[in-house]
């Protein structure tokens, strides 16, 4: 899969302060999560990719286009949902989204049609003629999402899309992001400090800290790899149980009375464990797949750095 974003020694400085420091790497997932503690440089990275900030050294490429040389081209294929409240006063949602569509290059009629469509898509269909100033925070977030996708971008950059949303509104936003990803017509770059949002929507993460990339992981691969790690807890006489599992190709290690940690071989059927336990009249009290949550990955990345 060709990379969506490639970072080639990208650095950004504001005055004497280095905000992004020699970022290198590439990401190609359908939905890419950009994680990091506050002040890690997530928003600056997004702003640099969009050409709002100048790179002091290095460069980056979006779909192979250099951010320094092809700024306008990149902006034409990208949609951006800013973190802060952003709208145009005294405008109805449909006029606002239409205008944004026109500024992206859509002809007048097409922009109007698309504005109606995307407002229905994000769930603001019934409220599309209301002034933006009268919208609730959740509705404003949805309007921002609508303007980001009105022109059918290839890459949608979402900066903290669930900020300030109540649980139902957050769920709706997450569902929309997942649907857009599954539609397969665009890539998503989701910047958030909420690990759950990223975990629920993204299949690749880039973790930043103090302006550096501290971890880059493919969540899908990690999830697949996690399925091979199993922890079990038995009750009864487990003599020979570990050996029997080892004979079937599992790597076992005891971690206390009746507790075993195993790495299953590829293609191993978990039901074999139950069968072996039943043969030995051994009770299986617990069987867990190790699940390295994104939080574990994030914390590990933070610990590695510190």
Partner 1 sequence: MAVYKRTYKGYSGALTAAWSRFLILPRYSFGRLFQSKFLVLFLMACFFYPAGCAVFIYLSHNLSFLRVLNVQAANLLEINANFFYIYCTVQATMAYLLTALVGPGLVSPDLVNNALPLYFCRPFSRSEYVAGKMSVLIYLLSLITWIPGLILFLMQSSLAGRSWIFANWWIAEAIVVGSLVWIGVLSLIAMAMSAWVKWRIAAGALILGVIFVGAGFGRALNAVMRIRGGAMLDLAQDSFTIWSALFRLPGAGQDIDTLDAVNAIAAACLICLWLLFKKVRPFEVVK
Of positions 37, 54, 64, 103, contacts partner 1 by CB under 8 A: 103
Of positions 11, 13, 63, 99, contacts partner 1 by CB under 8 A: 99
Count of chain residues binding partner 1 (CB under 8 A): 49
DSSP, collapsed to helix, strand or coil, labels residue 93 as helix
Of positions 10, 67, 146, 180, contacts partner 1 by CB under 8 A: 180
Site for partner 1 in 7-66 (CB under 8 A): 14-15, 47, 50, 52-53
Closest approach, Cβ 83 to partner 1, in A, equals 9
- Segment interacting with partner 1, rule: CB under 8 A, options 67-75, 161-169, 212-220, 253-261: 67-75
- Report d(CA 86, CA 83) in Å as an integer: 8
Of positions 21, 48, 147, 201, contacts partner 1 by CB under 8 A: 147
- Segment interacting with partner 1, rule: CB under 8 A, options 3-11, 70-78, 166-174, 193-201: 70-78
- The stretches of 208-291 forming alpha helices (DSSP H) are 219-226, 241-247, 271-279
- Report d(CA 99, CA 74) in Å as an integer: 19
Q: Tell me the DSSP string of 158-207.
A: EESTTTT--HHHHHHHHHHHHHHHHHTS-EEEEE-S-HHHHHHH-SEEEE
- Segment interacting with partner 1, rule: CB under 8 A, options 56-64, 92-100, 263-271, 279-287: 92-100
Q: Are 153 and 77 in contact (CB under 8 A)?
A: yes
Bridge partners (DSSP) of residue 251 are 263
Distances from the Cα of 103 to the Cα of 20, 83, 120, 153, angstroms: 30, 20, 21, 13
Phi then psi for residue 120, to 5 deg, are -65, -40
| Dihedral (CA of 230, 236, 239, 245) sign | negative
* 34, two tokens: 């950009």
- Segment interacting with partner 1, rule: CB under 8 A, options 113-121, 200-208, 257-265, 298-306: 113-121
Closest approach, Cβ 222 to partner 1, in A, equals 27
Q: Which of 177, 217 has the CB closer to partner 1?
A: 177
- Segment interacting with partner 1, rule: CB under 8 A, options 182-190, 205-213, 222-230, 260-268: 182-190
229 binds partner 1 (CB under 8 A): no
Neighbouring C-beta atoms of residue 139, cutoff 10 Å: 18
252 binds partner 1 (CB under 8 A): no
Of positions 45, 139, 149, 213, contacts partner 1 by CB under 8 A: 149
Of positions 80, 135, 241, 298, contacts partner 1 by CB under 8 A: 80
* 168, two tokens: 């139902």
DSSP 265: P
- Report d(CA 252, CA 264) in Å as an integer: 9
* 278, two tokens: 């039943």
Distances from the Cα of 35 to the Cα of 8, 213, 237, 306, angstroms: 19, 10, 46, 17
Q: Which of 86, 221 has the CB closer to partner 1?
A: 86
- Between 125 and 144, how does the x/- string for binding to partner 1 read (CB under 8 A)? x-------------------
Q: Which of 117, 233 has the CB closer to partner 1?
A: 117
Binding site for partner 1 (CB under 8 A): 14-15, 47, 50, 52-53, 72-73, 75-76, 78-80, 82, 84-91, 95, 99-100, 102-107, 110, 114, 116-117, 120-121, 125, 147, 149, 151-154, 179-180, 183, 185-186
């Amino acid at each position: 899969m060709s990379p969506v974003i490639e970072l080639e020694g990208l650095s950004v400085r504001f005055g004497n302060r280095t905000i992004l420091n020699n970022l290198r790497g590439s990401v190609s997932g359908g939905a890419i999560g950009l994680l990091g503690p506050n002040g890690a440089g997530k928003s600056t990275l997004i702003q640099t990719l969009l050409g709002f900030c100048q790179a002091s050294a290095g460069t980056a490429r979006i779909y192979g286009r250099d951010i320094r040389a092809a700024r306008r081209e990149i902006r034409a294929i990208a949609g951006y949902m800013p973190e802060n409240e952003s709208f145009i006063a005294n405008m109805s949602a449909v006029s606002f989204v239409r205008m944004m569509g026109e500024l992206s290059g859509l002809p007048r009629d097409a922009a109007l049609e698309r504005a109606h469509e995307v407002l229905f898509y994000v769930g603001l269909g019934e409220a599309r003629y209301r002034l933006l100033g009268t919208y609730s925070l959740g509705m404003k977030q949805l309007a921002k999402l609508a303007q980001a996708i009105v022109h059918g971008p290839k890459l949608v950059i979402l900066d903290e899309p669930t900020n300030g949303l109540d649980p139902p509104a957050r769920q709706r936003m997450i569902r929309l992001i997942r649907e857009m990803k599954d539609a397969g017509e665009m890539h998503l770059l989701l910047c958030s400090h909420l690990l759950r949002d990223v975990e629920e929507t993204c299949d690749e993460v880039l973790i930043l800290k103090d302006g550096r990339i501290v971890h880059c992981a493919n969540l899908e691969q990690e999830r697949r790899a996690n399925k091979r790690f199993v922890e079990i807890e038995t009750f009864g006489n487990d003599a020979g149980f570990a050996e029997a599992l080892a004979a079937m190709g599992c790597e076992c290690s005891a971690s206390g009375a009746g507790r075993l940690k195993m790495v299953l071989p590829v293609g191993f059927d978990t039901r074999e464990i139950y069968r072996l336990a039943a043969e030995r009249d051994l009770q299986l009290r617990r069987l867990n797949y190790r699940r390295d949550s994104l939080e574990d990955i994030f914390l590990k990345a933070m610990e590695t750095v510190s």
